[in-house]
Each structure stands twice: as structure tokens, then as C-alpha cells.
Amino acid sequence: MVASDYLQQVQTLRRQLSSLPAVWQQLDAILRNDHRLKQGQLPLAVPELTVAPTLFLDLFQLDPTQPETALAHTVTQLTQVLDDYREYLASTYGIWSHTTPALIADLARLPGKRYLEIMAGNGYISAGLRHLGQMVIATDTLEWVAENETGRQLVTAVQAMDALTAVRTYGATVDYIVMSWSPDGVPIDWQVLQLIRQCCPQVPLLCIGEKDGCTGSSAFWQGAHYRQDRQVQQLNRHFAPFDLVQEQVFWVS
């Protein structure tokens, strides 16, 4: 995905559809988060990025002279732009989880201040925690550099270290281990969890992803022990889905 082309489409639609508040609010949220990420900041929450079933009729009422093909093309364009938002963040900034400052603030309120982040990517989560005074060891293999933007635009210091080595080296010294968007179908998350159970079972794994969806392995999701209480609910209060991905924080042991 070419970043400039995507943003140009968003800006063009923003001008064309400025009379539809629900639509321009969606597009403004995308543009705002692009600006924030350019500054090394976490994205803010966005409204649900779906096209209203009444959009075609709304467009017709705005300009009844437009042919139906033109109206349908606009609907298709908007649908594609909204659907591509998450892919745009991943391909342009190497950010996979839509982790907001509000979620980071909730993480920072947990008892204890020491975090190990594995698979940290460009370090957005670690940067957010460090900004709030938490002590964070951020690690990632940085092997994705050749494939996408993960690891190319570090926003904080990230040690080049694989997840298992990081857990062996630092796991027993921290209060929490954070793992965000473990690769889909790759059992490294299950290997990490088994290692935590062996070397530092007292340390919870805070896993951010989609259970039985587009992140992690089936072995992990089936073998994990989940804590489910008010504290976990509080962590998820700022994870309102904006697309088909049902992303959450899971407290795992």
C-alpha cells in the first residue's frame, strides 16, 4: 500500500462528503491518527469504520443529478478506505494493535511498574508506558524490517532479542510481560507461555490480540488460563472494535 495514495483518497473523500457528519468524522479520525503516528504518538480511538446502509440514499439526496454509477463508485471508494485503515497503519508505521493512550494509562495503573514487552515492533506500547513513568524493557527480533515497516521506525529504544530469550533473561525481574499481536498461526506465543510457566509463573502475560482470530496460534488460545475479573474488564473498556477485528487484552497464565 502506498501511503501517499491512501491519504490522498481519504482527503478527497473528506472534501466530497463534508456534508455527511458521520462520514467526515470517520475520515477526520483517520487523518488525525496519521498525524499522531508521524509524531511518534499512539492513535486515539476512532468511530466504527463501517459504511452506513443508507449512504447511497444520503448521497442521492445531496445531489440527485449524479448518475447511479457515480454514487455507487463513491460508496465503493469509502468502503475500501475504511476497510484499509488497519492495513495502512501496519504497512506505513508497523503498528498492528490499535492501542490508544487510554489503554496505556490503564496498564500503567496496575500494581507494579516493571514491564517486559516482547515482540514490541516499533515500540509504541513501550513508549507509551515509559512516558507514564513505567520501567519497560522493550524487545523484538526486528526481523520484519525486510518485509514491512515493523522495526524501521522505532519510537523508543528496543533491544534486538527474540521473545524466548527475552523471557529467559528478564521474565523473573518484571511485574508483567506484554505481548501484542503475536503472528497469526505461529506457535511462538504458546512457546512463550510454556516458558513463563516454567521460569516465572508468578508473572502474568498481558496478551493483546484477537482470540481465535487473526493473531496468535490455536495452541495458545486453547492452552491459556484466563483471568476474568473487574480489573481485566477495566483494561478492556477502551478497546471498542472499529472493524471486524475483536481486539482485547487477555490476562493469561
Q: Quick check: 64 pLDDT over 70?
A: yes
Question: Alpha-carbon distance 170 to 163, whole Å?
Answer: 10
Q: Quick check: 63 pLDDT over 90?
A: no
Most confident of 65-69, 142-146, 210-214: 210-214
Q: What is the pLDDT of residue 149?
A: 57
Q: Quick check: 121 pLDDT over 70?
A: yes
Q: Quick check: 148 pLDDT over 70?
A: no
Q: What is the pLDDT of residue 238?
A: 86
pTM flag (> 0.75):
yes
Mean pLDDT of 107-129: 96
Longest dimension (CA), the chain: 69
Percent share of the chain, pLDDT over 90 = 83
Q: Quick check: 77 pLDDT over 60?
A: yes
Q: What is the pLDDT of residue 150?
A: 53
Mean pLDDT of 126-145: 92
Mean pLDDT of 154-181: 97
Q: Which has more confidence, 43 or 66?
A: 43
Q: What is the pLDDT of residue 151?
A: 52
Percent share of the chain, pLDDT over 70 = 96
Split at pLDDT 50, 70, 90, the class of 107 is very high
Q: What is the pLDDT of residues 216-252, one digit of tens each?
A: 999 999 999 999 999 999 999 988 788 999 999 999 9
Average pLDDT, the chain: 93
Please name the residue that has the C-alpha cell 513463563.
196
All domains in the chain, ordered by first residue:
3-93 (no CATH), 101-252 (3.40.50.150)
Mean pLDDT of 194-221: 97
Question: Alpha-carbon distance 101 to 203, whole Å?
Answer: 24
**CA-closest candidate to residue 49, choices 73, 21, 78, 71:** 78
Split at pLDDT 50, 70, 90, the class of 155 is very high
State the distance between the two ends of the chain, measured CA to CA, in whole angstroms. 37
Compute and round to an integer the Cα radius of gyration of the chain.
20
Question: Alpha-carbon distance 206 to 78, whole Å?
Answer: 35
